[in-house]
Amino acid sequence: MISVDYDNVQDSFCIDQTITATDDKLWANYMRGVIHFLKEKGYVLGGADIAITGNVPLGAGLSSSAALEVVTGQAMKALFELDVTQSELALIGQAAEHHFAGCFCGIMDQMISACGEKDHALLLDCRSLKTKAVSIPQGVSIMIIDSKVPHSLVDGAYNALREQCEEAARLLGKPALRDATLTELAASSIDKGSDIYKRAHHVISENDRTLACADAMIAGDLQKISECMYASHASMRDDFEITVPEIDYIVSLLSDLLGDQGGVRMTGGGFGGCCVALIPTELVDSARTTIEQHYQAHTGIKEAIYICTPQSGASSI
């Protein structure tokens, strides 16, 4: 394997021997993990020479690792005619991230990389893996603003948050926080000033907002989308405590500009990375100008801005 984006660094291993993680080429672990778990599930693979390049910004919280995992599985599926579903490829990518990269992530990033549909968002039930394509409202553009504050989930912060959520579910007597309601949380014995309470409050309320926002997108209700996105960001900032001042500043700038005509929030696992905004297309230039005029002057960091359209998930060309 050769990584074009890491100065053509190479990695190699034998397909018919035990595959383990490597200490010095972290990008290779995502691929090694996928091939390991494909083998473990009984899929028959052969050798391959693979070159990798991508345009998902690295370390920006935009799921470049999930994209690499899923496309590795997709390549193996195509090369060796594997009878494996896209959902299975997503799960295999998740297993690679857990056991070869050390980040106990959820399944959302891998599922959108594997099962995304053009011009649609994806409403995902992370327990059943049932999906529903949700159309992006007409006349709305997706803007990604990379704060350029480096983002990493493998340093333990994400895993610590996950442990707090699991403890909250245990205290509530629920299999997971998705099974709890805000009423049950408020009536529980969990200290309302504790981190465990705040983490649970974010997750439970975010689940409610996700469903409400999907309905609003289907209805083309930008005002409701705006409300959900601003509330989501506030919850990530105050209850989950995963935003940083630079991200909060971007959200403040765009919320002042957009009002209830669009929405903006942090996206990804937090601690840096990007914001995502849904913006009426006629306001895209104004939004770009606002960020370019103020962000670097305020933070000393030069942002990157991308205007995106949803595309289909991993496939062979």
Catalytically active residues are 109
Task: Specify whether the CB–CB gap between 33 and 26 falls below 8 A.
Answer: no
Which pairs count as long-range contacts for 205-212, CB under 8 Å and 24+ apart, including other chains? Answer: 205/231, 205/235, 205/239, 206/232, 206/235, 207/177, 207/178, 208/182, 209/235, 210/123, 211/123
Task: Specify whether the CB–CB gap between 179 and 121 falls below 8 A.
Answer: no
User: What does the buried/exposed string (b/e) look like for 13-43 if buried means 16 or more CB atoms within 10 Å of the residue's CB?
Assistant: eeeeeebebeeebebbbbbbbbbbbbbeeeb
* Of the candidates 206, 312, 212, 216, the residue with the CA atom closest to the CA atom of residue 265: 206
Beta-carbon count within 10 A of 128 CB: 7
Distance, CA of 26 to CA of 96 (rounded, Å): 12
Distance, CA of 244 to CA of 251 (rounded, Å): 11
Beta-carbon count within 10 A of 248 CB: 17
Helix (H, G, I), strand (E, B) or coil at 12: coil
The one-letter amino acid at 83: D
Helix (H, G, I), strand (E, B) or coil at 153: coil
Find all residues with CB under 8 Å of 177, minimum gap 6, and list them.
Answer: 165, 168, 169, 200, 203, 204, 207
